[in-house]
Amino acid sequence: MQLADRTKAFDSSGIRKVFDLAAKMKDPINLSIGQPDFDVPDEVKAACVEAIQSGKNAYALTQGMPVLREKLQSRVDQEYGHADRKVFVSSGTSGGLSLALWSLVNPGDEVIVFDPYFVMYTALTQLVGGVPVIIDTYPDFRIDLNKVAAAITPRTKLILLNSPANPTGVIASPDEIRGLAQLAAERDIVLLSDEIYRAFCYDEPFVSPATYNDRTLVIDGFSKSHGMTGWRLGFVHGPAEIIDTMIKLQQYTFVCAPQPVQWAGAVALDVDIGPHVEDYRRKRDLIYGGLSDLYEVTKPGGAFYIFPKAPGGSGSQFVARAIERNLLIIPGNIFSRQDTHFRISYASSDETIYRGIDVLRDLA
């Protein structure tokens, strides 16, 4: 059997391999999983159950059910006030990212990605025949606008921004965001802003590049903010021409986001997740305080990850040593062209974080 060439451009997700490993280990110290350790809010669960029991189980509208889509549109309009900014509901943020790349990138087009990056960015770019153009942000994970300008060619179609970022937890500064938004506008390049972690900003308010560039395409969702990772509910907003194309493609791929989940999502929009954000701010301080005297590490400003440099130079070798001590973390080369760091997710219990800190301090 001859498989399609596009499937050979990238390997299986290294993160999923660690998840599989965790399932086989006995009581691992698991700081690998990028999902909240809090449960879906009770009122959101109740809304989903009510939707199911009241018969809202058929296909949803491809663009999203009005109960959620219109509420999202109202909030987006209030935040940005753009004349041309349309919302649709996607099957998770991953579905939104896939549809965006299918809609925008032709074979041979270039997509600018900042290294380290979320694993899906380069894989999806290659899946649609695009060429990832990697911009190094080491050692402090800041965006150098001069590097971005120099990387742009006539083939550049898209710039991918993730702030707060996975795997580093770093938040782009307002100057970086404004400069990137203006550069994309001047060069007529789509800026795609992955804002799935926007709720988790600990030291400064969240800033979207859509504030400065009304052509910015924004991906967002409920997975991280409301613990709804398994519910597959995302949304996208941007210029109507792009959104309408993504809706058309969703008809032939994901079809729709699950209808009962959309009714629950409308309720989730009114749930106060502030206490969870404050708890994760405390966890951020706990993990950073426990490691910063022994590891070279940039203090994360958001999300729920920290990305220390591995002592000894090799991130993958260091992670192998950690696994021998029953500690599960992710090697940095899964997210990067470099093998110098490792990712910790502190979306876990305090007990697990303390156990992890003890092992990491001993390994250092």
From CA 13, how far away is CA 21, in angstroms rounded?
13
What is the residue extent of each domain of the chain?
5-40+273-363, 56-268
Q: What are phi and psi of 309, to 5 degrees?
A: -80, 135
Torsion from C-alpha of 260, 77, 278, 195, nearest 10 degrees? 80
Spans of the chain, pLDDT less than 50:
none
Give the per-residue pLDDT at 12.
66
Give the per-residue pLDDT at 19.
59
From CA 362, how far away is CA 322, in angstroms rounded?
10
Point out which residues pair with 191 in neighbouring strands: 159
Give the per-residue pLDDT at 20.
64
In the three-class reduction of DSSP (H, G, I as helix; E, B as strand; rest coil), residue 224 is classed as coil
Torsion from C-alpha of 273, 276, 280, 282, nearest 10 degrees? 120
Point out which residues pair with 306 in neighbouring strands: 344
Q: What are phi and psi of 47, to 5 degrees?
A: -65, -35
Give the per-residue pLDDT at 15.
60
Residue type, 152: I
- DSSP letters, 264-300, are HHHHHTTS--HHHHHHHHHHHHHHHHHHTTTS--PPP
Give the per-residue pLDDT at 26.
79
Residue type, 291: L
Helix (H) or strand (E) holding 201: none
Sheet containing 305-306, strands listed edge to edge, beginning at the edge strand earlier in sequence: 305-306, 342-345, 330-331
The fold for domain 5-40+273-363 equals: Aspartate Aminotransferase, domain 1 (3.90.1150)
Cα 70–261–43 angle (5° rounding)? 95
Give the per-residue pLDDT at 146.
98
Q: Tokens 């220390």: give the residue.
A: 308
Give the per-residue pLDDT at 85.
98
Check: CB of residue 234 under 8 Å from CB of residue 257.
yes
- How many CB atoms neighbour CB 34 within 10 A? 20
Q: Which two tokens stand for residue 223?
A: 């997975």
From CA 185, how far away is CA 215, in angstroms rounded?
7
56-268 CATH pick, 3.10.129.10, 3.40.50.1360, 3.30.1280.10, 3.40.640.10: 3.40.640.10
